[in-house]
Amino acid sequence: MTVLTVAEHRRGELRDVSQELVAAGRALADATGGDLHVAVISGPVEEYADDLNRDGVETIHTVAHGEEFNHDVYTQAVAQLADAVDPTVLLMPNSVNGLDYAPAVASRLGRPLVTDAVGLAYDDELTVTRELYGSKVETTIDVHAEQAAVTLRPAEWPAAEGTGDADIEPFDADIDESQVRSTVTGFQEVGNGDVDIADADVLVSVGRGIDEEENLDLVRDLADALGATLSASRPIIDNGWLPKDRQVGQSGKVVTPDVYIAIGISGAVQHVAGMKGAETIVAINNDPNAPIFDIADYGIVDDLFDVVPALIEEFEG
Amino acid sequence: MKILVTVKQVTAVDDEFEIDGLAIDDRYVTADLNEWDEYAVEAAVQLAESFDNVEVVTVTIGDADTEETIRQALAKGADRAVRVWDDALADTAMLDPATKARLLAAVAREEDPDLVLTGVQSADDSLGATGLTLAEQLGMEWAAVVNDLELAPDEGVAHVHRELEGGVEELTDVQLPAVLTIQTGINDPRYASLRGIRQAQSKDLAVKGLGDLGLDASALASPLEQTSLYEPEAEGEATLYEGAAEETAGELAGMLREKGVGQ
């Protein structure tokens, strides 16, 4: 069977998920001895194509139209490419931009869509593994259809390796400008406040388990006692309890401290994406099944309101 | 101006739970309004407060047990609600965004809104695709993962920020009518006032079956079949400290000191 993956880039750089899509697409195509095609749309597509030319890629289709991602352009171009290449499986990234065109493309093509895949298998038909209930359980979904669309969770597959000998073919997409009904006018970076958490050697990071804003003093005291910097997971930022520049995770900062102490953080995939590179990860959480314990090096399954004061006492007492 | 907001009652699972076939055992679940939808409702209510003559209508897919949850949106300021339900839905696993979107689109065609707000995703299924599938079925423009919204009806656009990865926001102008999927943190959702809760009881909540929406059971057909549900094997190799808090904190402190923390 044929697999078509769609690369992702932003502001002149291919994003990591692009090579992960190639690796996942290659494995899927190999299962049936099929071909892997890769599409790259907008920006310096020739340059990107060279980078995407990895072992086992048959053809790379380039669509030179505009510079940055525009979902109306992508939706039209990917739908036309899918018609031309006719892949059994169309693989797109489960990124913020992937979710800004993949469902529209699938709907336009009349293909069933399974999002946020963490596993793919093919045995006469496609089976997708995904998570439910905040990663508490996994489920498998059989796709009873000739053709399907799937979005792939970033950082679940290894990056594709090797140098391939793919044909690089410009694809003449017919973009109907009247259907380009959105305009990207710019980008804005979240500024840094008084500290940059990405520079810290030790981070004390707090999550939803802290319950109330006034309880933040407890983790502030711990950070002070340890000489650490305070950071947080998304709910704390959404509640306005700490500024955005303190957020660790997919939409916040990626941090790689020597020691990361996660307090009352369940470890949702979006959070883990921002801190899994820490050298030593410590988790304090009263849920023994919290996914944070899957990546922690050291853990305490207990009430943080008992453990944190005792820990402060250890360092100040 | 009319704003349609999709809302969903979601299932939260206890820390300890059991699986019963393809679902979580009922004894270990609690129901709540989807967190993302709370922000979408708040965004709609704020627009209703900023502009004249705005009607906010919520739409959900759910059985009678979801009404209490859905009334939370009415208590916070939505004007009326539509609940889609049909006995045929009881046996339908709602894991296909196309199926959900077909039901929601049927309501949207009746309501003819200028703006549709959805949550980015639901907390239980996390499809993240229903809003865009709905937009495509309606032929509307869209934007996904919106964390800032300024509506400019005179210009016929919404100025939005899309929250990309890595602390970067994309600034985009979206032509109306549009479906926007709303990210948490875009606003500060209000608590329902006692007066709001009282008023919500008398607000219109219409129940529509497949026939009422001009649909039949074929609208529920999906090629996606859920075949298993299981707890993933714990991948962790964490050293767990056990005992009373004083003991575990002491052991953790010892490890941290060895790493040079707090020295």
Domain CATH number, residue A155: 3.40.50.620
Q: In the structure encoding, which two tokens stand for residue B81, read together? A: 């609600």
- In whole angstroms, how far apart are CA A233 and each of A236, A259, A274, B198? 6, 16, 10, 35
Residue B62 lies in a domain: yes
Does A187 reside within a domain?
no
With helix as H, strand as E and coil as C, how does B59-123 read?
EEECCHHHHHHHHHHHHCCCCEEEEECCHHHHHCCCCCHHHHHHHHHHHHHHHCCCEEEEECCCC
B146 torsion bin: left (phi>0), alpha (psi -120 to 50), beta (else) = beta
Within this chain, do residues A215 and A172 fall inside the same structural domain, yes or no?
no
User: For chain B, what is the largest distance between any 2 Cα atoms, rounded to a whole number of angstroms?
Assistant: 71
B177 preceded by a cis bond (ω within 30 of 0) = yes
Task: Supply the CATH number for residue B67's domain.
Answer: 3.40.50.620
Evaluate whether residue A39 is within a structural domain: yes
Residues A75 and A222 grouped into a single domain: no
Residue A255 maps to a domain:
yes
- Does the residue B226 lie in any domain? no
Which positions 77-106 of A are in contact with B (Cβ < 8 Å)? 94-97, 99-104, 106
CA gap A87, A149 in Å, rounded: 9
Residue-level pLDDT at A51: 97
Q: Rounded to whole angstroms, how far apart are CA atoms A32 and A156?
A: 22
Burial class of residue A159, CB neighbours in 10 A (0-12, 13-18, 19+) = middle
pLDDT tens sequence across B121-141: 999 999 999 999 999 999 999
Contacts of B124 (CB under 8 A, 6+ apart): A132, A133, B10, B11, B12, B34
Residue B223 to residue A288, Cβ atoms within 8 A: no
Closest C-alpha to B67, from B196, B215, B213, B206: B206
Show which of A148, A179, A210 is a domain's final residue: A179
Verify that A12 and A131 share a domain, yes or no. Answer: yes
* Tally of domains in chain A: 2
**Is residue A229 located within the same domain as residue A256?**
yes
Q: Say if B53 is an interface residue toward chain A (CB within 8 Å).
A: no
Domain boundary among A179, A211, A231: A179
pLDDT at A24: 98
Segment A288-302 shows an average pLDDT of 94
**Per-residue model confidence as pLDDT tens digits over B58-116:** 999 999 999 999 999 999 999 999 999 999 999 888 899 999 999 999 999 999 999 99
B241/A189 touch (CB, cutoff 8 Å), yes or no: no
CB contact under 8 A, A107 and B133: yes
Q: Are residues A25 and A89 in the same domain?
A: yes
Please give the helix or strand (H or E) that residue A70 lies within, else none: none
| pLDDT tens by residue, A66-98 | 999 999 999 999 999 999 999 999 999 999 999
Q: Is the ipTM of this complex over 0.85?
A: yes
B163 contact A CB<8A: yes
Q: Whole-angstrom Cα distance, residue A193 to residue B157?
A: 32
A186 lies in some domain = no
Q: Give me the long-range contacts of B43-48 (CB less than 8 A, separation at least 24).
A: B43/B117, B43/B149, B43/B182, B43/B186, B43/B187, B44/B3, B44/B5, B44/B78, B44/B115, B44/B117, B45/B76, B45/B77, B45/B78, B45/B190, B46/B187, B47/B1, B47/B3, B47/B115, B47/B151, B48/B3, B48/B77, B48/B79
Residue B259 lies in a domain: no
Which residue range forms the structural domain that includes residue A297?
197-316
* Cα–Cα distance, B171 to B153 (Å, whole number): 18
Which one of B13, B142, B230 has the shortest CB-CB distance to A138? B230
Q: Which two tokens stand for residue B41?
A: 């409702």
- In chain A, the percentage of residues whose pLDDT exceeds 90 is 93
- Give the C-alpha distances (Å, rounded to integers) separating A12 from A8, A103, A172, A254: 10, 25, 22, 20
State what percent of residues in chain B have pLDDT above 70: 100
Tell me, yes or no, whether A189 lies in a domain.
no
Residues of A in contact with B262 (CB under 8 A): 225-227, 315
Question: A34: alpha, beta or left, given left = phi > 0 and alpha = psi -120 to 50?
Answer: beta
Q: Does B144 touch chain A (CB under 8 A)?
A: yes
Closest residue in A to B21 (Cα–Cα): A139
Structure confidence by residue, pLDDT tens digits, B87-99: 999 988 889 999 9
Instruction: Kindly state whether residues A67 and A155 are assigned to the same domain.
Output: yes
Model confidence, pTM: 0.94
Residues A174 and A274 in one domain: no
Domain match, A136 and A282 both: no
If DSSP codes are grouped into helix, strand and coil, which group holds residue A211?
coil
Closest residue in A to B186 (Cα) is A238
Name the residue among A113, A181, A252 with its Cβ closest to that of B129: A113
Q: Are B213 and B111 in contact (CB under 8 A)?
A: no
CATH number of the CATH domain containing A263: 3.40.50.1220
**Within-domain flag for A188:** no
- Distance (Å) from the alpha carbon of A165 to chain B's nearest alpha carbon: 32
| B121: CB partners within 8 A, 6+ apart | B36, B127, B128, B181
Assess if residue B29 is contained within a domain.
Answer: yes
Distance separating alpha carbons of residues A203 and A77, to the nearest angstrom: 44
The string of pLDDT tens digits covering residues B146-182 is 999 999 999 999 999 999 998 899 999 999 999 999 9
Contact between A237 and A247 (Cβ < 8 Å):
yes
Of A179, A207, A230, which one is at a domain's C-terminal end? A179
Contact A104, A18 (CB under 8 A): no
> A194, A298, A182: which is closest to A246 by C-alpha?
A194
- A122 plus A238 within the same structural domain: no
Contact A238 B184 (CB under 8 A): yes
Contacts with B102 (C-beta within 8 Å, 6 or more apart), sequence order: B137, B215, B219
For residue B14, the tally of other CB atoms under 10 A from its CB is: 15
- Based on the structure, what is the number of domains in chain B? 1
Q: Using a CB–CB cutoff of 8 Å, tell me whether B164 touches chain A.
A: yes
Return the closest-CA partner of residue B41 out of B1, B71, B64: B71
Structural domain includes residue B256 = no
Residues of B in contact with A297 (CB under 8 A): 237-239
From A184, A298, A310, residue closest to B238, measured CB to CB: A298
| Cα→Cα distances A283→A1, A266, B172, Å | 44, 9, 38
Task: Give the pLDDT confidence score for residue A194 in this predicted structure.
Answer: 76
Task: Looking at the structure, tell me whether residues A207 and A251 fall in a common domain.
Answer: yes
List, as ranges, residues 26-65 from A with C-beta within 8 Å of B. Answer: none
* Residues B29, B12: Cα–Cα separation, whole Å: 5
Chain B from 184 to 243: CB within 8 A of any A CB: 184-185, 188, 222-232, 234-242
Using the Cβ of A251 and the Cβ atoms of chain B, whether some distance falls under 8 Å is answered with: yes
d(CA B230, CA B241): 27
> Is A298 close to B245, i.e. CB distance below 8 A?
no
* B15 → closest Cβ in A97, A238, A287: A287
Residues A29 and A149 in one domain: yes
- What domain range is B109 assigned to? 2-220
